[in-house]
Amino acid sequence: MTKADRPQSSREELLRAWERNLPSVLNQNDQAKVNLDQGDERALRITIQTAGRTGYNFDFKCTYMDDREVDVQLVDVESEGQSVDERNEQIQELISDYVRHIHECAQMVIPVTHA
């Protein structure tokens, strides 16, 4: 990625835009936390905690390929502090939904990245 391909806004401004917009695309009772990736200036770390009894925590790495496109990778799924097998059908559906929601949020923050 060249300098021209990187999001134009500061990382802190981008982080604030994600923090503002991500909750609006998630299920109402889900919780999300967005952090800057300390090892990759093009990436954000996103943790989504599901509502309900399962208490799953999904950790994603969201990497900007350019100012409009992101690559979303699942890092880990935990329940009650323990890693769980993400091959379970229910968990796969949740992962798919959350990846879609993350892409939706990336579209919402384009005014910040494409300024």
C-alpha distances (whole Å) from 77 to each of 24, 74, 84, 101 are: 22, 8, 6, 17
The b-or-e profile of 15-38 (16+ CB within 10 A means b, else e) is bebbeebbeebbeeebebebeeee
Q: Encode pLDDT of 46-79 as tens digits.
A: 999 998 777 899 999 999 999 889 999 999 999 9
Q: What is the pLDDT of residue 4?
A: 45
Domains, the chain: 3-109 (3.30.310)
| Per-residue pLDDT tens digits for 11-52 | 999 999 999 999 999 988 999 999 999 999 999 999 999 987
**Percent of the chain at pLDDT above 90?**
78
d(CA 85, CA 32): 21
> Which strand (E) or helix (H) includes residue 102?
helix 89-108
What is the pTM for the complete model shown?
Answer: 0.89
80 pLDDT band, cuts 50/70/90, is confident
Percent of the chain surpassing pLDDT 70:
91
Q: What is the pLDDT of residue 115?
A: 66
Mean per-residue pLDDT, 74-85: 93
